[in-house]
Copies of this chain bind each other. A is one copy, B any other.
Amino acid sequence: MPPNRKLGIATVCLSGTLEDKLDAAAAAGFDGVEIFEPDLVASALAPEEIRTRCADLGLNIDLYQPFRDFEAVPPDLLAANLRRAEKKFDLMERLGASMALVCSTVSPESVNDDDLAAEHLHLLATRAAERGVRIAYEALAWGRHVSTFDHSWRIVRRADHPDLGLCLDSFHILSRGSDPAPIRVIPAEKLFFLQLADAPHLDMDVLQWSRHHRLFPGQGAFDLPRFLDLVLRSGYEGPLSLEVFNDVFRQSDPRVAAVDALRSLLSLRESVEPRSVEGGLPAPPELQGFAFVEIAAGGGAAPEVTGALDALGFTRTGRHRSKPVALWEQGSARVLVNTDVDAGDATAVAAIAVESPDPAASARRAERLLAPVLSREHRADEADLAAIAAPDGTSVFFCRTDVEESWLADFEAVGGSAPSVLSAVDHVALTQQTDDFDGAALFYRTVFGLHPEVPAEVAAPFGLVRSLSMTDAAQWVRIALSVAAVRRGEWAPGVPHPQHVAFATDDIAGAAARLRDRGLLLAIPDNYYDDLDARIAPERLDLLREHSLLYDRDEQGEFLHCYTPVLGTRIFFEVVQRISGYRGYGALNAPVRMAAHRRVRLQGLASVVRGVA
């Protein structure tokens, strides 16, 4: 596919007034827009003004949409529909739009008659052509008589008018489970328009699914690369245009959503684009693990965080040469504790750094995928780490630690090393705001090249939590995203939605014992073990109970994990032991952990930890 392929977006994808939407689409870098009629109807800009505004913003008006319930109706209704169409052609003339979308009818007054539908569409195309407008006919998945792309194609072929062609919409085709392979029988000159949308697998009414739950490509479950490849191999030459109805995007900042939208299209284009094309994306990095995780510990939280790291067996090995940042190490796990934070700020994961064989190329890829590049202050003799911002504000670094003069050289050594209990960072769990969740998943999938695993849903004590974990093929880097489905219960005292960092070990009992000795092992209630005994009766139940270890298993193996209390406002640590290739995250146990965290909060942690650190 040529890299100059135009990329577009329907205004319905974005929140706000038409003016907000156009501004956001242009700022992100789209080439064109579909004007969604209700956006125009509510706008105070005259069509001529919209035309000028789009031109000023560098946006082509690719499509005006939708025109509904036109074809296969009785004569009086046909006359009314033609009058309606002429009015819309008037508008399109003023707007400077030359293609109208006509959706297959859902009218109860229409008849199931392909000949009549073709005849009416021929008539419409004739009238349209007189006004310089072309008609793209689309089969809605819930169309009354025409609901599949091949049916819409039969009608268009029968109508046989040069100004009548097809609009293909990936949602309408893939949601019905239709095989898109036969798209290739449609001649290129009849493929007038292509709308792209992804969606999660949902077993629900297809109209409701379409109107509320579409996603940008790569955020859902559809095989859009294959779909797009088929359409392009048919010779389609028009823009790739997103049409996504989504309740969250509908109220999200349109400037952010437009960036996510374009990122999704760039990534989709990459999937069908030969790697050699000029202007293409650098390949995703072959990640080799976490270089470090940086924790911002404001106010009085630093002793809690460092006390916990100490209890976990970390040693403070370095002090940053110019910033109040300490390096803690153990095995290949490295944690930076940054105390250059306002006391009022939350204790949080400030940054994650991943090992890339070519950090510069990784950063270039991120930048091409519209990730904001962070300008960082650093002294001339300090490492210039390539840093970008994830949608939730977490800083992301690409590093190579195994070279001379790596970022480690910015730290002055201060201590020795202790015997290692933990070996590495297993995963980082980042809680997201509702608006950021799908965007964050897209970010890590496209920028890091991670693969999403199966989404999970947890009925947690303070509200339903959805999560999505992602990892690379070799499972070097695991990121777990979660979001409160409605929101986290605000009534519950002292429970912001916390983040955590999980460390891998081969001796979880040892790690738990260390934590317990320091008063930092999250106590798990007996009821949990009684239930575990009834359900699974795992070996070593007494060991689990003794060390407050949680347990899970999958087809591969077993999983033992334990936690610290929440430290500061919103961070805690987990220790995990994966046995025989267990791949999950023990999501089933999350409600037990959350209730335990609440208990510690109510009892008050600070006194315990301050005594230790």
Contact = CB atoms under 8 A, between A and B. Distances in A.
Contact of A43 (B45, B204, B595): B595
A454 B46 CA distance: 35
Most chain B beta-carbon neighbours within 10 Å: one of A42, A248, A464 = A42
A16 B489 contact: yes
Copies in the complex: 2
Given A251-B487, A595-B17, A461 B42 contact: yes
Contact of A44 (B91, B205, B252, B596): B596
Interface stretch (A326-334, A406-414, A498-506, A521-529): A521-529
A38 B489 CA distance: 18
Interface stretch (A109-117, A180-188, A349-357, A530-538): A530-538
A47 interface: yes
A484 interface: yes
B250 A43 contact: no
A391 B222 CA distance: 42
Nearest to A209: B204
A41 interface: yes
A106 interface: no
Interface in A198-225: 202-205, 208, 212
A42 B38 CA distance: 49
Contacts of A537: 83
A382 B414 CA distance: 78
Contacts of A17: 461, 595, 598-599
Given A16-B461, A598-B17, A42 B84 contact: no
A40 interface: yes
Contact of A527 (B47, B203, B594, B596): B47
A79 interface: no
A1 to B, nearest CB: 33
A175 B272 CA distance: 45
A6 B464 CA distance: 30
B530 A44 contact: no
Contact of A42 (B485, B487, B533, B592): B592
A143 interface: no
A237 interface: no
A447 to B, nearest CB: 23
A233 interface: no
A284 interface: no
A592 B203 CA distance: 33
A15 B530 contact: no
Contact of A205 (B203, B250, B534): B203
A492 B247 contact: no
Given A205-B203, A461-B17, A491-B253, A595 B42 contact: yes
Contact of A489 (B84, B203, B253, B492): B253
Contacts of A459: 38, 250
B528 A42 contact: yes
A42 B464 contact: no
A463 B528 contact: no
Interface residues of A, number: 68
Contacts of A535: 84
Given A41-B527, A42-B595, A208-B203, A485 B247 contact: yes
A485 B213 CA distance: 13
Contacts of A44: 523, 525, 527, 595-596, 599
A247 to B, nearest CB: 5
A374 to B, nearest CB: 22
A254 B256 CA distance: 35
Given A15-B491, A87-B530, A208-B203, A486 B42 contact: no
Contacts of A592: 41-42
Given A203-B205, A491-B252, A528 B16 contact: no
A594 B18 CA distance: 12
B41 A462 contact: no
Contact of A434 (B18, B47, B486): B486
A158 interface: no
Given A42-B528, A47-B527, A525-B44, A15 B461 contact: yes
B16 A462 contact: yes
A534 B46 CA distance: 16
A599 B530 CA distance: 61
Interface string A461-493: 111100000000000000000001111111110
A66 interface: no
Nearest to A24: B491
Interface of A: 15-18, 20, 37-38, 40-47, 83-84, 87-88, 91, 202-205, 208, 212, 247-248, 250-256, 434, 459, 461-464, 484-492, 523, 525-528, 530-531, 533-535, 537, 591-592, 594-596, 598-599
- Enumerate the 4 nearest inter-chain pairs by beta-carbon distance, A residue then B residue, closest first: A251-B463, A204-B204, A87-B534, A253-B491
